[in-house]
Amino acid sequence: MSKYQICVSGAAAGETVETSHLLAYALGAAIAKSGHTLTTGATIGLPQHAARGAKDSGGLSIGFSPAATYREHVKAYRLPTEEFDYINFTGMDYVGRDVHLVRSSDVVVTVGGRMGSLHEFSTAIESHKICAVLLGSGGLADFIPTLIERIRTPDKEDIIFDTDPERIVKRIVEILDHRYADFKKEIKSLPLGQSKSRKG
């Protein structure tokens, strides 16, 4: 577990893309500089800016596409490819893609965001994933504090709120390090290459 998979969830279009693209880029860059892996929905807008930030900072960027193939990703969905080291073609359309993306990530960070980001945020909450919110990025991100006060939300006291991309990533990594501390100890105690064999 030397690398965590940190998902950036945000609007593909709309006002927050225009106002918060630099924040998304800085968030991707901070994830890369921390030595961890960025995951996104392999889409345009704020997730694409985050992916560019990660790539420009020498990081690893993985996209989860709603399409089943590269051809469908480009021709039917008209989604980008250059910002990703690897694209997981889920074939699940947007709703199914969201679930696969969230469940494959250690944490979900909301920047800006519209209804699709709300779906990813609620999926992360219900999956008991660590959630972080970049305040000041507009859209859903700035509405989440009100949302969780008015709607019963599990583990809401554990949601991370911050206004600074580098600081929020640092806080995320500290929490993940603590959460995985016992697991890392267990892995270190195993001889290299040793794993439990399947029986039956």
Domains in the chain (CATH in brackets) are 5-188 (3.40.50.450)
Rounded distance, CA 172 to CA 140, Å?
A: 20
Whole-Å CA distances, 121 to 65, 99, 191: 18, 10, 38
Residue 137: how many other CB atoms lie within 10 Å:
26
Structure token digits, residue 176: 């993940």
Name the phi and psi angles at 112, rounded to 5: 60, -135
The per-residue pLDDT for range 41-76, each reduced to its tens digit, is: 999 999 999 999 999 999 999 999 999 999 999 999
The per-residue pLDDT for range 19-46, each reduced to its tens digit, is: 999 999 999 999 999 999 999 999 999 9
Rounded distance, CA 157 to CA 153, Å?
A: 9
pTM to 2 decimals?
0.90
